[in-house]
Amino acid sequence: MKVLVVGSGGREHAFVWKLSQSSRVTKIFCAPGNAGIARLAKCIDIKADDVDSLLNFAKYEGIDLTVVGPEAPLTKGITDAFIKEGRMIFGVNASASRLEGSKVYAKEFMLKYGIPTAEYKSFTSYHQAEEYIRLKGSPAVIKADGLAAGKGVFVAETAEEAINALNVIMKDKAFGDAGDKVIIEQCLKGEEASFMVLIDGETILPLASSQDHKRIFDNDEGPNTGGMGAYSPAPVVTKELEEEIMASIMDPIMKGLAREEIKFRGVLYAGLMICDGKPYVLEFNCRFGDPEAQPILMRLESDLYDVMKATAEGRLDQVNLRWKDATSICVVLSSEGYPGEYAKGRVITGLDSFKGRDDVFVFHAGTAANDNGEFITTGGRVLGVTALGSDIKTAKENAYKAIEKIHFEGMHYRKDIGDRAINRE
C-alpha cells in the first residue's frame, strides 16, 4: 500500500516512522516533509495546504491512504476534496475542523452541549474587549479566534499584560485574520493534560494520555509555543478521571456532533485543565497534538496503518489498541529566539549517535540538508528527542542523556519536562 503523509513537523515524522513499520505499507511519500523524514520516505515539494496539488498527486501516484498531520489543510477542506474524488484519507472534514479552526465556535458548541469549560466572552471590537478586561480584572486568558500555530493564547496575570496581548492580536495582527475576533476567558488553575480520541462517526476510541508543556521556559514561564515537550502516559489522568472525561466531555461531544449532523472521522484532541479532580476543556484540536504524537506513537504497539484505515472506513469497533508497558518522553530542541523571530541555517551535529537504538528516536521538525549533506535548522522547533523508559524518571534520563550528544548554535530546550509526573510518584 502507498501512503501520503501531509505535513513537515515532528508529528509527521512520527507518522512516517510508525507507518514504515507496517507490513502493509510498501511506499511512503511526504509533502513537503523534512530532512529527517527524507530518510524514511520520498519527500514531495508540495505545501501542506495546497489541496488541489495534493489531490492531483494522490491520483497520479495511486495513493491508497493519505494521512493529514497539521490543521491548516483540514480547515481548508482537504478531506472533503479527497472524499469527493473517492480517495481514502485520515483527517476530519471542514465542518468538523471548525472545533479547532474557531475558538468562538468551539466555546459555543461546549456551552450548547453542557461540556465543562471556562467562562468567556468573545469580541470583534478592540475597545469593547479592552473595556471588559479593565472591568473584569485579572488573571485572564486572551485567545485569538483562529489558527495561530499554538501561539495565539496569552495567559495574563495583570490587566496590563492582558491589554498588551490584545494589542498583539487585534492591533498588530500578529496572527493575521485569526485575530479579527478574540476570546477573553476565566483563567483556570490546575494541572493540564492532553486527551486524544479516535472517532469514526460512530465509535470513539481513547488513545494513551499525555501531557504537553506549552511555555518556552522551565517552570511554565515565558510565552506560549507550539509545545516544548510531552510525556505519555500522564499520571494525572487516572482511570477514574478518564471515565469522568469520557462521561462529561466525550459523550456530550458525540451527541452534539450527531445533532449538528457533523460527520467526524479522525482525531479529537481535548486540551484539559484538571481543577480539583474535575476536567475542563481549554481547547479542541482536530488532529494529533505535536509533540504529544511523538511519545504516544513511541508507545503504540498496534499497526498505525490499520488503525488509521479503520478510522477512515468507519471500522473502529474492530480495533483493539495495544500499548507498550513503558513511559515515553519527548523534549523539543528549539532555535534561538523561538517563539519569536529565530535563527536559521545552523548546522546540527550528533544525530547519528542513536542508530540502532530502539529506546531513543530523534524526530525532525524544522530541518533541511545543506549542500554538504549536513542537517541544518530551518524552523523554530527543530528536533524532538523522544525516549522510552520503564518509568517517567528513566525515560527522562534517557532523553536528556541523548540531548547531550546533539548540538547546534543557539540550541534551547526545557530542563523540566516530566518533572510534574516524577513529583507525583
For 280-318, give the DSSP string. EEEEEESS--TTTHHHHHHHB-S-HHHHHHHHHHT-GGG
Q: Is the pLDDT of residue 271 over 70?
A: yes
Question: pLDDT by residue (tens digit) across 110-133?
Answer: 999 999 999 999 999 999 999 999
CATH architecture of 191-318: 2-Layer Sandwich (3.30)
The contacts of residue 138 (CB under 8 Å, 6+ apart) are 156, 157, 158, 159, 161, 162, 187
State residue 137's pLDDT score: 85
Tell me the average pLDDT of the chain. 95
Encode burial over 349-359: b for 16+ CB neighbours within 10 A, e otherwise: eebeebeeeeb
Q: According to CATH, what is the number of the domain 125-180?
A: 3.30.1490.20
Closest Cα partner for 230 from 200, 254, 207? 207
State residue 353's pLDDT score: 87
Pick one of 3.40.50.20, 3.30.470.10, 3.90.79.10, 3.30.1020.10 as the CATH number of 2-91.
Answer: 3.40.50.20
Q: Are strands 360-364 and 266-275 parallel, antiparallel or unpaired?
A: unpaired
Other Cβ atoms closer than 10 A to 168: 19
State residue 325's pLDDT score: 95
**Helices 304-313 and 10-19: crossing angle, nearest 10°?**
100
- Give the confidence band of 151 by pLDDT, cuts at 50, 70, 90: confident
- Give the confidence band of 401 by pLDDT, cuts at 50, 70, 90: very high
In this structure, the chain runs to a length of: 425
Percent of the chain past pLDDT 70, that is, above it, reads: 100
User: Which residue in this structure is represented by grid cell 523539543?
Assistant: 332
Closest Cα partner for 260 from 68, 106, 79? 106
State residue 138's pLDDT score: 87
153 phi, psi to nearest 5 deg: -120, 130
State residue 149's pLDDT score: 77
pTM recorded for the entire structure: 0.94
Contact 286, 269 (CB under 8 A): yes
Read off the DSSP letter of residue 5. E
The contacts of residue 401 (CB under 8 Å, 6+ apart) are none
Pick one of 3.30.70.20, 3.90.600.10, 3.40.710.10, 3.10.20.30 as the CATH number of 327-424.
Answer: 3.90.600.10
Distance CA 201, CA 407 (A): 45
Closest Cα partner for 150 from 218, 95, 227, 79? 227
Instruction: Give domain limits for the chain.
Output: 2-91, 125-180, 191-318, 327-424
Question: pLDDT by residue (tens digit) across 226-246?
Answer: 999 999 999 999 999 999 999
Distance CA 83, CA 256 (A): 23
Whole-angstrom CA distances from 54 to 16, 57, 83, 146, 262 are 17, 5, 13, 24, 24
Q: Is the pLDDT of residue 368 over 80?
A: yes
The rounded Cα 179 to chain-centroid distance in angstroms is 20
State residue 425's pLDDT score: 63
**Range name among 37-41, 163-167, 354-358, 413-417 with the lowest pLDDT average:** 354-358
Whole-angstrom CA distances from 36 to 46, 69, 90, 298, 349 are 17, 16, 22, 16, 13
Question: pLDDT by residue (tens digit) across 162-217?
Answer: 999 999 999 999 999 999 999 999 999 999 999 999 999 999 999 999 999 999 99
- Give the confidence band of 392 by pLDDT, cuts at 50, 70, 90: very high
Question: pLDDT by residue (tens digit) across 284-342?
Answer: 999 999 999 999 999 999 999 999 999 999 999 999 999 999 999 999 999 999 999 99
Mean predicted confidence (pLDDT) in 260-287? 96
**Helices 126-136 and 159-166: crossing angle, nearest 10°?**
170
